[in-house]
Structure formats: structure tokens, C-alpha cells
């Protein structure tokens, strides 16, 4: 009887966490950071579905620019998400860490987005991008 009770409790907690993750608002949490090691990271990313944390160059106008890195995301809570930078980023440059979908591409699990494309494009709940801007140190 004890085993059944423990199993039921574990199932209930697991379902509760999955439900909570599904209802959490998408978000990216990151701080200004040293990128001299060729990596930029987010402390926490909440994604509504499997997708990507995409690193765009940006500037004072806060418009997403060219992609310089990306990392896969699982639907729900992701912590310590690290993207390898594919180009040099200098101290003082601004990077936009944005959630992109896995939808619309030709192959699952392969990042296919290019600036302005629909494949693996940015998510826009309520019409707004889900992103944060960090400064390279």
C-alpha cells in the first residue's frame, strides 16, 4: 500500500510540475556577461514548446540583427542555457537572447532560421518578442 501511495504522489507531483511549466509565461533571464570564452548564456528560459534560444546582434535601436549563436530549448523551464557564438563578439557589444520556435522548418532538431524567415522563427505571444538584451563584457 505504501508503494502505491508513493507512486501516486510522484505521479501527482510530476503532473503538477508539467502543468505549471505549460502555464508559465515565456521568458528569458540573463545578465551582462563576459563572452571572451565564445559562449553567451541565459540563467533561465521558459519556452512554451521545444525550440531555440537564438542570439542576435543588436544595438541601441533594440532591433534583432544577424544571428551569431543558438542553443536548443525544451518546452518548459530551462536553466543555464549556453549558446556557442559563431562570430567574435567584442566587449561593449549588445546581444539579444530570444526564444524561437521549432515550427515551420524542413527538419526537426536542426536550426533553420535566417533573419526575416518564417522557419524556426521567433515566438510572439501577445504580439511581442520574448527576449532580453545583454552587454558583452
Q: Which of 90, 22, 21, 103 is nearest to 57 (CA)?
A: 90
pTM for the model stands at 0.82
pLDDT value at residue 89:
98
pLDDT at 17: 46
The whole-number pLDDT of residue 23 equals 59
pLDDT for res 9: 42
pLDDT at 6 exceeding the cut of 70: no
Domain ranges of the chain: 26-135
pLDDT in tens, 104-129: 888 888 999 988 888 999 999 999 99
Per-residue pLDDT of 34-92, as tens digits, reads 999 999 999 999 999 999 999 999 999 999 999 999 999 999 999 999 999 999 999 99
In which region does residue 119 sit, left (phi positive, over 0), alpha (psi from -120 to 50) or beta (all else)? beta
DSSP class per residue in 10-77: HHHHHHHHHHHHHHSPPEEE---B--TTSEEEEEEEEESSSEEEEEEEE-TT-----EEEEEEE-SEE
Task: Please say whether the structural domain 26-135 has been given the CATH code 3.40.50.
Answer: no
Q: Place 4 in a pLDDT band, splitting at 50, 70 and 90.
A: very low
Per-residue pLDDT, 25: 95
Amino acid at each position: 500500500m505504501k508503494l502505491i501511495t508513493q507512486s501516486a504522489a510522484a505521479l501527482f507531483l510530476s503532473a503538477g510540475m508539467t502543468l505549471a511549466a505549460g502555464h508559465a509565461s515565456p521568458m528569458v533571464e540573463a545578465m551582462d556577461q563576459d563572452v571572451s570564452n565564445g559562449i553567451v548564456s541565459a540563467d533561465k528560459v521558459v519556452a512554451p514548446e521545444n525550440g531555440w534560444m537564438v542570439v542576435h546582434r543588436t544595438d541601441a535601436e533594440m532591433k534583432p540583427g544577424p544571428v551569431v549563436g543558438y542553443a536548443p530549448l525544451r518546452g518548459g523551464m530551462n536553466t543555464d542555457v549556453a549558446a556557442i557564438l559563431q562570430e567574435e563578439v567584442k566587449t561593449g557589444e549588445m546581444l539579444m537572447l530570444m526564444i524561437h520556435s521549432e515550427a515551420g522548418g524542413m527538419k526537426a532538431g536542426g536550426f533553420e532560421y535566417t533573419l526575416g524567415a518564417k522557419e524556426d522563427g521567433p515566438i510572439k505571444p501577445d504580439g511581442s518578442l520574448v527576449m532580453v538584451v545583454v552587454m558583452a563584457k
